[in-house]
């Protein structure tokens, strides 16, 4: 089935007989038993809810997985993933990660006895050099947030399988519309469903998707035990958002490429990080493993005052955290997404006081460029 059709009809709606086109919101915490030792298939919404089940089946189909688990947030999904590991286990992770993920690994997971090495995962030899007896997984973000580094997922997966390691890929930026990590050898795909899957900046959600039955069973146990499941109403919002995923992604990418090219011509802009530009170091890998480039742009301006001038001068674009919605948002990573990353570490990654990150929406691209132009002047 074509991806566009999957977005609309990704799972069979067999939970009701009314003929309703929109999946019902089963706003129920619990479900009655038909008899002793009998179940309708639903017992308690922490275990499963009909609305959430439909969403999970849809996301699993989009990612080519056997199971998807919908969480209350993207960070809740990553937290549950970390419960697969035990004290003393070692994980290799992309060096340029979303700040919230770094905060979780450094302040919660380390406290729980896990160890980490952060490395540029586009450097396969560098990753290989860090593997040791205690290593259990490689955690990849590609493209990374906010420096847009690209990792060869297939190469990492081949290395991991040779050492019996799990591979988890955060696919938030490209979504299954542009990138399918499970088909490239990954074991688990992670999403902040808050972003492109929802697409409207109106709810929080997270996903773990796997194509392995054994991992599905383990994750389902963790899921029901820790309990950070997505509510029925929020599940419905995600179902509604996914219906327009492909349309939004196409328009957002079209806008992003035009804006990225325009930014490269601006005197006050020093660097533009967009994987759809042919001079991006990850361009070739991107064209090989993905069908598109997405709509995330980071760019470095000449001075801190220019960065603040843009943030305070924009009129159409919104200065706000998050990404992936229909509205174009601009973020100041050093004060927002990566504020908790130690300054020395942050600067070593290029996240300085001149760096801005933009999530391009579906507005008229000429209006967006005009807004950036007036803010730069």
So which residues are the catalytic ones?
46, 98, 170, 195
**Helix 50-63, helix 232-242: angle, nearest 10:** 40
Q: What CA–CA distance (Å, rounded) separates 360 from 346?
A: 24
Segments of 142-268 assigned E as strands = 166-170, 188-192, 206-210
Q: What CA–CA distance (Å, rounded) separates 138 from 184?
A: 14
Q: What b/e sequence results for 317-334 when a residue is b if at least 16 CB atoms lie within 10 Å of its CB, and e otherwise?
A: bbeeebbbbebbbbbbbb
Q: What CA–CA distance (Å, rounded) separates 313 from 309?
A: 6
Q: What CA–CA distance (Å, rounded) separates 363 from 195?
A: 17
Cα torsion for 104, 108, 112, 115, to the nearest 10°?
50
The answer to whether 105 and 256 have CB atoms below 8 angstroms apart is no
Q: What CA–CA distance (Å, rounded) separates 147 from 145?
A: 5
**Helix 245-263, helix 365-376: angle, nearest 10:** 40
Q: Which two tokens stand for residue 79?
A: 């937290």
- The residues that bridge with 210 in the sheet, in sequence order, are 67, 188
The single-letter DSSP state of residue 59 is: H
- Residue 314: name the closest of 365, 374, 252 by CA: 374
Q: Where do we find the tokens 């009701």?
A: 16
Beta strands across the sheet bearing 296-301: 269-273, 296-301, 355-359, 329-331, 318-319
Q: Reduced to 3 states, what is the DSSP secondary structure of residue 82?
A: helix
């Amino acid at each position: 089935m074509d991806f566009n059709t999957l977005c609309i009809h990704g799972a069979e709606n067999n939970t009701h007989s009314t003929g309703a086109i929109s999946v019902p919101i089963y706003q129920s915490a619990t479900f009655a038993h038909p008899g002793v030792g009998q179940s309708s298939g639903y017992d308690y919404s922490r275990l499963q809810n009909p609305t959430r089940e439909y969403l999970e089946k849809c996301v699993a189909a989009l990612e080519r997985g056997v199971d998807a688990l919908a969480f209350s947030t993207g960070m809740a999904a990553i937290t549950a993933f970390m419960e697969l590991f035990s004290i003393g286990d070692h994980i290799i992770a992309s060096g340029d990660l979303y700040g919230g993920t770094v905060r979780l690994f450094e302040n919660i997971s380390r406290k729980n006895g896990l160890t980490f090495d952060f490395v540029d995962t586009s450097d396969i030899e560098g990753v290989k050099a860090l593997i040791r007896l205690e290593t259990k997984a490689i955690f990849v973000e590609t493209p990374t947030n906010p420096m847009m580094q690209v990792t060869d997922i297939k190469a990492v997966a081949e290395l991991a399988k040779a050492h019996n390691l799990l591979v988890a890929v955060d696919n938030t930026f490209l979504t299954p519309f542009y990138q399918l990590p499970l088909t490239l050898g990954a074991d688990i795909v992670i999403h902040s469903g808050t972003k492109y899957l929802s697409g409207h900046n109106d709810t929080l959600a997270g996903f773990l998707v796997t194509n392995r039955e054994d991992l599905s069973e383990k994750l389902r146990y963790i899921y029901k035990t820790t309990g950070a499941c997505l509510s029925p109403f929020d599940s419905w919002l995600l179902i509604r958002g996914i219906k327009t995923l492909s349309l939004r992604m196409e328009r957002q990418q079209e806008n992003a490429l035009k804006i990225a090219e325009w930014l490269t011509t601006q005197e006050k802009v020093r660097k533009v990080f967009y994987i759809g530009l042919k001079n991006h170091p990850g361009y070739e890998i991107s064209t090989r493993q993905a069908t598109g480039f997405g709509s995330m742009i980071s760019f470095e301006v000449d001075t801190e005052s220019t960065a603040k001038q843009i943030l305070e001068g924009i009129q159409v674009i919104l200065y706000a955290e998050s990404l992936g919605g229909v509205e174009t948002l601009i973020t100041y990573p050093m004060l927002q997404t990566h504020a908790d990353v130690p300054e020395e570490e942050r600067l070593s990654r290029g996240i300085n006081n001149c760096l801005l990150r933009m999530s391009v929406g579906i507005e008229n691209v000429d209006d967006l460029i005009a807004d950036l132009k007036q803010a730069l002047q």
